[in-house]
Chains A and B, each alone.
Chain A
Amino acid sequence: MSNLQWTEIIIFAVLFLVVTVLGFVAARWQAGSTLDHLDEWGLGGRKFGSWITWFLVGGDLYTAYTFVAVPALVFGAGALGFYALPYTVILYPIVFLPLLRMWSVSRVHGYVTPADYVRGRYGSRTLALLIAVTGIVATMPYIALQLVGLEAVLRTMGFNGSGFLGHLPLLIAFVVLAVYTYQSGLRAPALIAFVKDILIYIVILVAVFYLPSKLGGWETIFNTAQAKFDATKDNPNDGVLLSPANQLQYATLALGSALALFLYPHSLTGALASRGRNVIKRNMVALPAYSLLLGLLALLGFVAIQAASKPIVNQATGRPDTNTIVPVLFDQQFPAWFAGIAFAAIGIGALVPAAIMSIAAANLWTRNIYKEYIKKDADPKQEAKQAKLASLIVKFGAVLFILLVDPQFSIDLQLIGGVIILQTLPAVAISLYTRWFHRWALVAGWVAGMVWGFAMLYEIPNKAAGKAHFGGSALPLGQLSLFGWHPFAGSLTQIYVGFVALIGNLVVAVIATWILRAMKSPNGIDQTQNEDYHADEGDPRLKEVAVH
C-alpha cells in the first residue's frame, strides 16, 4: 500500500461518490407505477428515448474491459488488436434489421430475454433453457472482467496490495454497485452512463491529441512500434501491419464478434428497454461515435510503446498485468488531476456494464429457469424480487471469481464465452427470419458448436504466456481437424475459432433439420405471428408495460 497517488484518489473518490448518489436517485427517475415488475426493474419501463438509449447501450457495449484490453492487445500484438474497430463498424449494419424484428416481437409478447423469445417462437422449453444457460455462462466471466478493468486503475493509483487487502477497494466499489442496482434496476446504469460516457469522451479526445504531440507525432510512434515488433523474432505475427497468416483471423474475429455481440443478453437488454423502432434505428446510426473513440483508444497501445510504459506487476498474482498499460500511460504522461479523471472514467466505465450484465443474467435466471422450472406460478412481483436477489448473487459470484481465482481464468472464460454465445445465433437470430430449422436440430447444432469450439480452444497454446491450453482464439488452419482429417494440413493461416464452430453448428443444424423433417417430427407451436415482427410504438398489438 505504498506510493498512493492522493490527487488521483481524491478525484476518483469524488466522481465515484457522484455516481453512487445518481445510482440511488435513479429509482425515482421517470418511475413507473411500480418497481415490482421486470418490465420496470429489468427494462427501465421499456420507454427509453434516443438519447438515453445511446448513452445506455454505448455504456453497455463499450466496457471498461474493452477500454483497457484493446489498447493492451495493440501494445502486445500490433495490428491484430485493431480488429476492435472493424468489429464495431460492421456491427450496426449487420444487426440493424434483425434487432428491429427482435424489438417488435418482444414488445408484442412481453419478452424480457432472448430465451423468452425462443420459448415463444419454438414452444421448446429445452431450447429456451439452453439459450438461457449459454447467456448466463457467457455473461458471468464478462462481469468478472469489468472488475479486472476497475482493478487495473485501482492498482495504478497505488492500491496494489497483496492478498485480501489488495482487493478491498474493489470489494467496496462492488458492494455499493450491488446495492443501488438492487434498488433502482436498469435505471441506475442508464443514469450513470451519462456521467461515464461524457468523462470517457473528454479523456480519450484529450489523450489522442495531447499525447502524440507530446511524444513526437504519429509518424515517430508508428516507427518505434514497428522497431519493437521487429525485435521480437519469436512472434512472426505481430507488427504494425497484419501478417499473411493473421489476415483471415482479423476478418473472422471482427465478423464473429459482431455477430455475437447482440446475442449477449446484456446487449439485448439495452435494446429492449428502448421506446420504439425509430429509437433503435437512430442509435444504429449514432452509436459508431463510440467506435471512433474505441479506434482512437486502440492506437494508445502504440503510444504506450513510444512512451516506454511498463505494465504494473500485480502483487496478487506476481505477474505483470498488461491490462494496466493504458492506466500506466495516463499516470506517467498526464498531470495527476487529469489522470484522476481518466481513472474515474475507466472505473465508472466498469460499473455501467457490470450493472446491466448482472440485470440481464438475473432476468434470464428468473424468467427462464426460476419461473419455468422452479416456481411456475410466480407472479410478476415475485419475479422482480427473485431477479433482484439474483443480481446480487451474480455480482458476488463475479467478485469471488476475482478474489479466489487467478484473473487470467476470467480472461480465458470470456474468450470461451464469445465462442459459445455465437452458437445461439441460429436459434436467436436466424429464427427471426425463418422457422425452417427444426427445434431439435437447433439443439443438435448448439451441442456440436459448443463441443467443437471448446475442443479447438483447448488445443490452442500461448507460448508467450507459457500456457498449453486456452491460449487464444486464433486457430491455424493446418490444425483444423474433421474427425482426424486435416483439410488444410500445413497451412499457418489463422482463423477465429468461434467462426469455425458456428459453421459446424449450422451444418449440423441443416442436416438434422432435413432428417427430422423427413421423419415428420413436430416442430413446436409458434406463438408469434408475421405482423408481430413489424409492430411499433402506438400499435394496439403491443403488450402493456408492467401489467400484473
Chain B
Amino acid sequence: MSESPGKTGYGLRWNNWNLLLLVPLAMLITPLINFDGPHLFGMPFFYWSQFVFVVVGVICVWVVYVKTKDEPVSHQPDRLSVDDLDEGTTK
C-alpha cells in the first residue's frame, strides 16, 4: 500500500521495474499453495513451494536493485551548486 506511485510533484521517482516487487506477494494467496502433493524430498507442496518463493523474492528484489542502481541520487547536476550554497543555512 505504501508502494503506490501516488501523485507526481511529491518528489517521487517511479521506475516500472519496481512493479516486480509485487510478485512475491503472490505467496499470500494460500488457495494456490495449500496442497499436500506433489511431494519434494518428502515435504508437502505447501512447504517446499514457499521455500521456492524465497528464491523468487530474492530474484525480484535483486533485479529491481540492479535496474535502479544508476538512478541519479541528487536531482540534476545544476541543483548541486544550489545545495552547496544552501549548505551553510541548513540545519
A and B part of one assembly: yes
Q: Which residues of A come within 8 Å of B, CB atoms?
A: 79, 82, 85-86, 89-90, 92-94, 96-98, 109, 212, 217-222, 240-242, 247-248, 250-251, 254-255, 277-278, 281-282, 284-285, 288, 291-292, 295, 299, 425, 429-430, 432-435, 527, 529-531, 533-536, 538-541, 543
With known contacts A93-B22, A282-B65, A540-B87, A251–B74 Cβ distance under 8 A: no
Roughly how many angstroms separate A65 CA and B66 CA in the complex, as a whole number? 34
> Is A94 in contact with B54, judged by CB distance below 8 angstroms?
no
Chain B nearest CB from A548 CB (Å) reads 14
> Is A241 in contact with B2, judged by CB distance below 8 angstroms?
no
With known contacts A434-B10, A530-B11, A541-B83, A251–B65 Cβ distance under 8 A: no
- Closest residue of B by beta carbon distance from A97: B3
- Closest residue of B by beta carbon distance from A100: B68
Q: Which of A282, A534, A541 contacts B13 (CB 8 A)?
A: A534
6 CB-based A-B contacts, threshold 8 Å: A97-B2, A109-B91, A212-B42, A241-B46, A281-B69, A533-B11
Q: Which residues of B come within 8 Å of A, CB atoms?
A: 1-4, 6-7, 10-13, 18, 20-25, 27-31, 34-36, 39, 41-44, 46-47, 50-51, 53-54, 57-58, 60-62, 64-65, 69, 73-75, 79-80, 83-84, 87, 90-91
> Is A240 in contact with B44, judged by CB distance below 8 angstroms?
yes
Which 6 pairs from chain A and chain B are nearest by CB? A530-B11, A218-B42, A219-B42, A536-B73, A93-B21, A247-B30
Contacts of A432 in B (CB 8 A): 2
Contacts of B25 in A (CB 8 A): 90, 93-94
Contacts of A94 in B (CB 8 A): 2-3, 21, 25
Roughly how many angstroms separate A277 CA and B58 CA in the complex, as a whole number? 18
Best-surrounded residue of B27, B46, B54 (most CB of chain A within 10 A): B54
- Closest residue of A by beta carbon distance from B9: A530
Roughly how many angstroms separate A538 CA and B80 CA in the complex, as a whole number? 12
> Is B83 in contact with A429, judged by CB distance below 8 angstroms?
no
Contacts of A541 in B (CB 8 A): 74, 83, 87, 90
Chain B nearest CB from A296 CB (Å) reads 8
Chain A nearest CB from B69 CB (Å) reads 7
> Is A89 in contact with B54, judged by CB distance below 8 angstroms?
yes
- Closest residue of A by beta carbon distance from B90: A541
> Is B54 in contact with A534, judged by CB distance below 8 angstroms?
no
Roughly how many angstroms separate A254 CA and B90 CA in the complex, as a whole number? 41
> Is B42 in contact with A433, judged by CB distance below 8 angstroms?
no
Chain A nearest CB from B60 CB (Å) reads 6
> Is B75 in contact with A534, judged by CB distance below 8 angstroms?
yes
> Is B11 in contact with A241, judged by CB distance below 8 angstroms?
no
Roughly how many angstroms separate A288 CA and B91 CA in the complex, as a whole number? 37
> Is A96 in contact with B61, judged by CB distance below 8 angstroms?
yes
Chain B nearest CB from A261 CB (Å) reads 13
Chain B nearest CB from A286 CB (Å) reads 8
Chain A nearest CB from B47 CB (Å) reads 7
Roughly how many angstroms separate A242 CA and B30 CA in the complex, as a whole number? 8
Contacts of B12 in A (CB 8 A): 433
Best-surrounded residue of A86, A240, A248, A434 (most CB of chain B within 10 A): A86
Q: Which of B21, B23, B65, B84 contacts A540 (CB 8 A)?
A: B84
> Is B61 in contact with A285, judged by CB distance below 8 angstroms?
yes
> Is A93 in contact with B51, judged by CB distance below 8 angstroms?
no
Roughly how many angstroms separate A240 CA and B36 CA in the complex, as a whole number? 8
Contacts of B90 in A (CB 8 A): 541, 543
Roughly how many angstroms separate A435 CA and B87 CA in the complex, as a whole number? 25
> Is B50 in contact with A531, judged by CB distance below 8 angstroms?
no
Contacts of B36 in A (CB 8 A): 240-241
Roughly how many angstroms separate A292 CA and B4 CA in the complex, as a whole number? 28
Contacts of B35 in A (CB 8 A): 241
Contacts of A98 in B (CB 8 A): 2-3
> Is A93 in contact with B61, judged by CB distance below 8 angstroms?
yes
> Is A534 in contact with B44, judged by CB distance below 8 angstroms?
no
> Is A539 in contact with B73, judged by CB distance below 8 angstroms?
yes
Contacts of A281 in B (CB 8 A): 65, 69
> Is B28 in contact with A90, judged by CB distance below 8 angstroms?
yes
Contacts of B6 in A (CB 8 A): 433-434
> Is A247 in contact with B34, judged by CB distance below 8 angstroms?
yes
Contacts of A429 in B (CB 8 A): 2
Q: Which of B57, B80, B91 contacts A90 (CB 8 A)?
A: B57
- Closest residue of A by beta carbon distance from B79: A531
Q: Which of A86, A96, A430 contacts B27 (CB 8 A)?
A: A86
Chain A nearest CB from B7 CB (Å) reads 7
> Is B57 in contact with A295, judged by CB distance below 8 angstroms?
no
Chain A nearest CB from B50 CB (Å) reads 5
Q: Which of A219, A242, A277 contacts B46 (CB 8 A)?
A: A242
With known contacts A93-B25, A251-B29, A540-B84, A85–B51 Cβ distance under 8 A: yes
> Is A530 in contact with B10, judged by CB distance below 8 angstroms?
yes
- Closest residue of A by beta carbon distance from B25: A90
- Closest residue of A by beta carbon distance from B12: A433
> Is A534 in contact with B74, judged by CB distance below 8 angstroms?
yes
Contacts of A531 in B (CB 8 A): 11, 74-75, 79, 83
Chain A nearest CB from B90 CB (Å) reads 7
Roughly how many angstroms separate A82 CA and B49 CA in the complex, as a whole number? 12
- Closest residue of B by beta carbon distance from A222: B44
Contacts of B22 in A (CB 8 A): 93
Chain B nearest CB from A108 CB (Å) reads 8
With known contacts A97-B18, A285-B58, A540-B87, A299–B47 Cβ distance under 8 A: yes
> Is A222 in contact with B42, judged by CB distance below 8 angstroms?
yes
Roughly how many angstroms separate A299 CA and B24 CA in the complex, as a whole number? 21
Roughly how many angstroms separate A433 CA and B10 CA in the complex, as a whole number? 7
Roughly how many angstroms separate A535 CA and B87 CA in the complex, as a whole number? 14
Q: Which of A82, A529, A530 contacts B50 (CB 8 A)?
A: A82
Roughly how many angstroms separate A247 CA and B23 CA in the complex, as a whole number? 19
